[in-house]
Amino acid sequence: MHIDILTLFPEMFHGVFQSSILNKAVERQQFTYELVNFREYSKNKHQKVDDYPYGGGAGMVLTPQPIFDAVEAVKSKRNSNPRVILMCPQGETLTQQKSEELAKEDHLIFICGHYEGYDERIREHIVTDEISIGDYVLTGGELGSMVVVDSVVRLLPDVLGNQQSAPQDSFSTGLLEHPHYTRPADFRGYKVPDVLLSGNHANIASWRRKQSLLRTWNRRKDLLDNMELTDEDKNTLKNDKSDEIL
């Protein structure tokens, strides 16, 4: 297996990959890895990788170009069609079953974000899997990716030494966040929703609420069990959940 990790902070991984079971697995060539700083792929003259969110709001959003280009370069280098994993609080919660599934792959790419979030087009057009390690938020995806890599690599043949070790393993409330978009408005034909460019803050707020409701219904319906939904919220779920889920 080969693992590529796209991150703005590659130095965070040195201690993890140079210690314990992972270090031994690297030394035995049971897996290889590369740390890719996607800032190096930015075409911005200042190597910026983030920008302000369309529609307003707090924080900065990672722009699509550096991450698209980094993923494409990594795929081309290895001539492969890997699973591309986005570390994200909105993803499916990591389970032992998911780790076992990923351990069967030859090549994995992890995307570790920072700031407010990712431009939604990254999620929609290059990602194959979204993974969360729990219902909480970290400063970036690096720590989460370390958890996933560790849980996957230990399942590779002979990494643990004892073949029975892995098979014997045991295994804030609220809505999920709406999609984010940032410049450019049209990237490779993938366009930002018109409502976010309208400047109508009431319509933007309504769209975001609707998307949050639909995303939560689709991905984590259990989070709605203790939510106090307005009549408008209930109407959204009743009328739109089967037609427009992002």
3-state SS string over 165-192? Answer: CCCCCCCCCCCCCCCCCCCCCEECCEEC
* Binding site feature residues for S-adenosyl-L-methionine: 113, 133-138
Tell me, yes or no, if 121 is annotated catalytic: no
Give the active site residue among 154, 183, 209, 220: 154
Tell me, yes or no, if 10 is annotated catalytic: no
Give the active site residue among 40, 106, 158, 169: 169
Tell me, yes or no, if 169 is annotated catalytic: yes
Give the active site residue among 64, 66, 82, 89: 89
Tell me, yes or no, if 78 is annotated catalytic: no
CB 76 within 8 A of CB 109: no
Give the active site residue among 34, 69, 100, 116: 116
* Binding site feature residues: 113, 133-138
- Any idea which residues carry the catalytic annotation? 89, 116, 154, 169
